Structure 1
Amino acid sequence: MHRDEQFRDFFVARAPALRRTAYLIVGDWHAAEDVTQLGLARLYVVWPRVRVETADAYARRIVVNEALGWLRRTRRESAVEAVPDLPGPTVAESPLDIGSALALLPGQQRAIIALRYVDDLSVAEVARVLDIAEGTVKSQTSRALDTLRSRLPELVLSEETR
């Protein structure tokens, strides 16, 4: 199979999952699309050297790194046309939204939670993707879950450790 055909097949199969992971980290679908496109463009450049058995992990690492870089480069503030007179709904008044919940966390913790609980990766796999120690994954997971529990008491995580 030709290089472009192989990459196209990989792109069609994996882009939606990579975009979802990017969204969970950056919290914006348009930014997630951009991050995914940038990551897959970088992957395409090195595609001839990528082994088939590691292509998924390599692509995930590229996209996660792009997403974390995007978080560092962008401001967390956003402009609004008019300042609201009343505060927005509280957590108890608004439906639970995973994007809002993850927005409470710093970028690396978002990535860890997304990779562990949404992409269902092991501690070792997350450590490899983020190029950090397994102990760091465990401690950051614990801190992230503590933050989510304290800020969102109704958030129920069905499986806290693996």
Structure 2
Amino acid sequence: MSSQAPADDGFRAFVEQQWGPLVRLAYLLTGDRGHAEDLVQAALEKTHRRWGRVARMEAPVAYVRKAMVNTATSWRRRRRVSEVPLLATDGPVPDPYGSVEHRQQVVAALRTLPPRMRAVLVLRYFGDLSEAEIAEALGCSVGTVKSQNSRGLERLRAQLTTPLERTRA
């Protein structure tokens, strides 16, 4: 008789399918590959405890994303230390969609934003969630998501464009 647990009801398959996208999302939230993997594991641990209920949801991955954002915010509050800049030896998270020309600048600019603003932009443009889905994930109104999105994009534009490019726009 085996000492293994009974069937996992699809949790293992869910993790295998979602691991890459979740780590990419977590990397954009944390700016560090190690922290990103820790964040995904923490969120998946929370999800596994409730998997019977989560598996019946329309979009279980949305539950995991929300757990990731909440956990990242909680960690940031607890740590209260300054961000560590990426080293030249730190590689980007593998991206099956191809390389982005200014990936390091975008990630660095994202890390300067407040946690909620960063979460809104990451979930919207990298997680491809609607404003309503983001509002649900963050526990705020759609109006808050819209304003955080607008302000976040404005800050990113200011950091990622040269003064000459800004005067032309």
With the length of structure 2 as denominator, give the TM-score of the two structures: 0.75
Does structure 1 residue 69 correspond to structure 2 residue 74?
yes
CA RMSD of aligned residues (A): 2.0
For residue 64 of structure 2, the aligned residue among 42, 59, 66 is: 59
Matches within 5 A, 1:86-97: 97=104
Indicate how the Cα distance of structure 1 residues 78 and 102 shifts in structure 2: closer, same or farther if over 3 A, else same: closer
Q: Deviations over 1:24-69 (max 9, x none)?
A: 1111110010011011001000101221423111111111211222
Distance in 2 between residues matched to 1:131 and 1:15, nearest whole Å? 24
Distance in 2 between residues matched to 1:76 and 1:69, nearest whole Å? 15
Distance in 2 between residues matched to 1:58 and 1:14, nearest whole Å? 12
Distance in 2 between residues matched to 1:78 and 1:151, nearest whole Å? 18
Q: CA deviation at 1:115?
A: 0.5
Match of residue 89 from structure 2: none
Distance in 1 between residues matched to 2:149 and 2:83, nearest whole Å? 25
Q: How many residues of Structure 1 are paired with residues of Structure 2 in the alignment?
A: 139
Q: SS at 2:161's partner residue?
A: coil
Indicate how the Cα distance of structure 1 residues 129 and 136 shifts in structure 2: closer, same or farther if over 3 A, else same: same
Match of residue 104 from structure 1: 112
Runs of at least 5 residues in structure 1 that lack an aligned partner in the other structure: 80-94, 157-162
Indicate how the Cα distance of structure 1 residues 107 and 48 shifts in structure 2: closer, same or farther if over 3 A, else same: same
Q: CA deviation at 1:16?
A: 1.4
Q: Deviations over 1:97-117 (max 9, x none)?
A: 221120121111111100000
For residue 153 of structure 2, the aligned residue among 135, 139, 145 is: 145
**Retained in 2: the 8 A contact 1:7–1:44?**
yes
Larger mean Cα displacement after TM superposition, 97-106 or 140-149: 97-106
Match of residue 94 from structure 2: none
Larger mean Cα displacement after TM superposition, 2-11 or 38-47: 2-11
With the length of structure 1 as denominator, give the TM-score of the two structures: 0.78
